Structure 1
Amino acid sequence: MTTPTAWQRRRAPLATRRTTLAARPASLTTPTTNTPAHRRLLLAAATTAATLALVAVATTSPEPAAAAETVSVSTAAQLKSALAAATPGQTIHLADGVYTGNFKVTGRPATASAPITLEGSANAVLRTSSGGGNVLQLTDADHWTVHGITVQNAQKGIMVDSSDHVTIDGVTVHDLTMEGVHFRTSSSYGVLKNSRIFDTGQDGRGMGEGVYVGSANTYSDTSDHVQILDNVIGPLVRGENVDIKEGTRGGRIAGNTFYGDGLTGANYDDSWVDVKGNDYVVEDNVGVGTTKSGFQPHQQSPGWGCGTTFRNNSSDLSGAVGSGRYAIEVTVYDAATCPVTVTSDNTVVGGDGLVNPGIPVSLVGGGPSPEPSPTREPTPSPTPSPSPSPTTPACTAPAWNAGAVYTGGATVSHAGSTYTARWWTQGETPGTAQWGAWAVVGTC
């Protein structure tokens, strides 16, 4: 039996009305066929049927969209083909295994309602054959998500170029000669979260940043509103854990754990986070180990490196060397033209303190901590002039000798006092006994 179509089902009420009309009494049935009245009735019925059909088509709800397509791949060749042909709403799933090559997505944008996802477990490993180039590069690829995979053994890990709303989630990136993840060429609203990045910058030039946003020495790269959330960056990141370049603004760095054991000072890498962009929020991060400072807003040129807020970050500067070892080292500050906000819930262990002198610390929930009032020096009470101690005369009398014979009136000195013999005496030590041979007459 043929199942009626949706259009046929919606015509059922019209057929029912026709059946009802046929069942009417003879006095009410249609005239004899081929009369003018009959023709008019047929024309009216046909017009009504056509109208109802149009209404049915106009009001029919669209059929539900087909389920999003999943493309499963297990070889490098299949992966390259899938990336080149990706369409919105598609998921490319990688089987566990090693995929060797330089993988590129170019000109395959998706949409917010139908993103494209590249996914696999941490055992789906993308790597280059020679350690050169980028492992994965997305260009003009809006609304892509990269999830779960491992990227390793290359010059650079994941590069995002001219692509907005790219999310990198739960990936592992390591063993690179340069940076791990880079949002550049005006790639805005990107997110890196729940990921691990370690062992970067293996060439020792200090250019192995964990995460890099923007481009150096240019202000045309407006990779704005990038968020770096809940990642573990380090150990052995040979460059800043996060490097934010001038020309970018409005991002957020939150909930990350930074290890600074890879910092060497090469290429000015002496902090976990270096912010040269504007209006960033840096909060709820934990950093351990650094050569100098924890967090640094820098001004590469006037008007940049301003407006950053640092709050509730925890810094362990144990082992930092030299001067200027601050959890938050603000290199340029002007309350009117280049403000930086440091709140009182930031904490520090070791080093020279929370923030360098001259930078106000804002109370959480309030304004800046007041400058402590100088302690008023008490008016000293006049020191009384001491009464002069009597001068003790020198012992001029000869010292007492136990073997000498002394007659009455003889004078000797002994143990700081002067004595006079009362009578003849020999061998009796001078003292203060009431009935002794010696009477004390003074001190010396």
Structure 2
Amino acid sequence: MRPRTLLPALLATATATALAVGGPALASAADAEAAGAAAVIEVSTAAQLKSALTEAGPGDTIHLADGTYTGNFKATVAGSASARITLTGSAGAVLTAGGGYGLHLNGASYWTVQGITVSGGQKGIMADSADGVVIDSVTVHDLDMEGVHFRKSSSDGVIRNSRIYDTGHDGRGMGEGVYVGTAGDLSDNSDRVQILDNTIGPDVGGENVDIKEGTTGAQIVGNTFDGNGLTGANYDDSWVDVKGNDVLVEGNHGSRTTNNGYETHSQQSGWGCGTVFRDNASDLSGSTGDKQLAFNVTNYSADCPTTVRGSNTVTGGKGLTNIDVTP
């Protein structure tokens, strides 16, 4: 049996909160609830990890020892906004798969995945029908397809402080670093996903970030993009491709691309609209496409606006954008 240790700090917090709200009776109830849920599950083998992913409940933490965990790992139990489930370890705790998904959060809302490495297989970390997932300080690499994917209306997710590289080994331009939504599926409302302060690339065999139609309110902020390895296959020719609505792209730094830095498209009527680009720095030196713009807006109209602020900068290429710049 894996060691399970209670989290004293959580117990103390729950008790103090309950005392403030309702006195000793509620405090005892809070103690009981915390004692049943707030535990650390220590894991050091693949078999233990698979078991822990099914056993963990709201408030629990699964702690991975350094080592290689071979297999496909899936979580289906949801935490809650007030009692998240955490999977944590150092970069030396490596999930590696021969195929399929490295880590699949299937209906596993309110999980935090922190610190670990995911490599090998078809896709790295997949969130399906999982709201409020936080992926923090992970390393994802060496995949046939995309690195991190929020899909099937997985809203309010966050990927931050992470490194993603060496994806898309199948060569079809389908190895996006971060992928939000589903191509052609307007029912996939993976909304308000935040992509913050990551380093994505090199050798990402699709766009560094792809925001699909059907999704709204994504934020792409503070990232570093390296387009070395873009293939040009399947329209894979920019760091970021925006097809969702009301997307903020701010404070990113991009270098090395085959064509443009950022693009917007309307794959479905009424989508790809409302994007705001501001404070981004683009280095297009060495790009080889026929446009070579920092921001190529393919779908601008009064009904489908895009805003490119004058605070964006570009080095090399043929210019900042093909639309009027907003001060």
Range that drifts further, 337-346 or 314-323: 314-323
Number of the residue aligned with 2:96: 127
The reply to whether residue 226 of structure 1 matches residue 190 of structure 2 is: no
Paired residues of 2:295 and 2:321 also in contact (CA < 8 A): yes
CA distance in 1, matches of 2:196, 2:289: 31
Query: Which residue does 1:200 correspond to in 2?
Result: 167
Q: 1:116 aligns with which of 78, 81, 85?
A: 85
Partners of 1:158 and 1:355 lie apart in 2 by: 33
Q: Is 1:102 paired with 2:68?
A: no
Q: 1:84 to 1:293 in 2, by over 3 A?
A: same
Give me the whole-angstrom Cα distance separating, in 2, the residues matched to 1:154 and 1:281: 31
- Which residue of structure 1 aligns with residue 325 of structure 2? 361
- Looking at structure 2, the residues matched to 166 and 137 of structure 1 have their Cα atoms a distance apart, in angstroms, of 12
Evaluate the alpha carbon distance shift between residue 90 and residue 322 of structure 1 in structure 2; reply closer, same or farther with a 3 A threshold. closer
Superposed CA offset, 1:278-327 (max 9, x none): 00000000000001100001110221110000000000001112321100
1-structure distance, mates of 2:69, 2:291: 46
Q: Which residue of 2 aligns with 1:71?
A: 41
Give 1:232 shift.
0.2
Unmatched 5+ stretches in structure 1: 1-56, 364-444
Who is 1:307 aligned against? 274
Equivalent residues in 2 for 1:163-312, closer than 5 Å: 163-312=130-279
Residue of structure 2 equivalent to 1:425: none
Worse-matched range after superposition: 337-346 or 62-71: 62-71
Three-state SS of the structure 2 residue aligned to 1:328 is strand
The amino acid of 1:144's aligned partner reads W
Q: By how many angstroms is 1:60 displaced?
A: 4.5
Aligned to 1:90: 60
In the alignment, is residue 342 of structure 1 matched against residue 308 of structure 2? yes
Per the alignment, in what secondary structure is the counterpart of residue 142 of structure 2?
strand
Offset of residue 112 of structure 1: 1.0
Residues 58 and 89 (structure 1), Cα distance of their counterparts in 2 relative to 1, 3 Å cut: closer
Aligned residue type for 1:110? G
Greater Cα radius of gyration, structure 1 or 2:
1
Structure 2 partner of 1:13: none
Q: For the residues of structure 2 that align with 1:192 and 1:88, how far apart are their CA atoms?
A: 21
Aligned residue pairs: how many?
301
Aligned partners of 2:236, 2:165: CA distance in 1, in Å?
16
Asked whether the 8 Å contact 2:260–2:289 carries over to 1, the reply is no
1:435 corresponds to which residue? none
Aligned-residue Cα RMSD (Å) equals: 1.3
Amino acid in structure 1 at the alignment position of 2:96? R
The CA distance in 1 between the partners of 2:24 and 2:101, in whole Å, is 52
The amino acid across from 1:351 in the alignment is G
Q: Please state whether the residue corresponding to 2:27 is helix, strand or coil.
A: coil
Which digits, 9 at most, give the CA deviation of each residue in 1:179-221, with x for residues without a partner?
Answer: 0000000000000000000000012111110000000011010
- Relative contact order, higher structure (CA 8 A, sep 6+): 2
One-letter amino acid of the structure 1 residue matched with residue 272 of structure 2: G
- The amino acid that maps onto 2:141 is H
- 3-state SS in 1 of match to 2:48: helix
Instruction: Give TM-score, length-normalised by structure 1.
Output: 0.67
Residues in 2 aligned to 1:355 and 1:109: alpha-carbon distance in whole angstroms: 43
Corresponding residue SS for 1:146: strand
> Which string of whole-angstrom CA distances, capped at 9 and with x for unpartnered residues, describes residues 348-390 of structure 1?
001110001xx12111xxxxxxxxxxxxxxxxxxxxxxxxxxx
Name segments (4+ residues, structure 1) moved above 3 Å.
57-61
Post-superposition offset of 1:62: 2.0
Task: Give, in angstroms, the shift of residue 252 of structure 1.
Answer: 0.2
Match of 1:80?
50
Q: Does 1:153 align with 2:120?
A: yes
Aligned pair in 2 of structure 1 residues 58, 264: CA closer, same or farther (>3 Å)?
Answer: closer
Query: 1:322 is matched with which residue: 278, 285, 289?
Result: 289
1:135-168 deviation per Cα after TM superposition (whole angstroms, max 9, x unaligned):
1001111110000000001111000000000000
Q: Which runs of 5+ in 2 are unaligned?
A: 1-21
What is the SS of the residue equivalent to 1:77? helix
Task: Report how far residue 59 of structure 1 moved.
Answer: 7.2
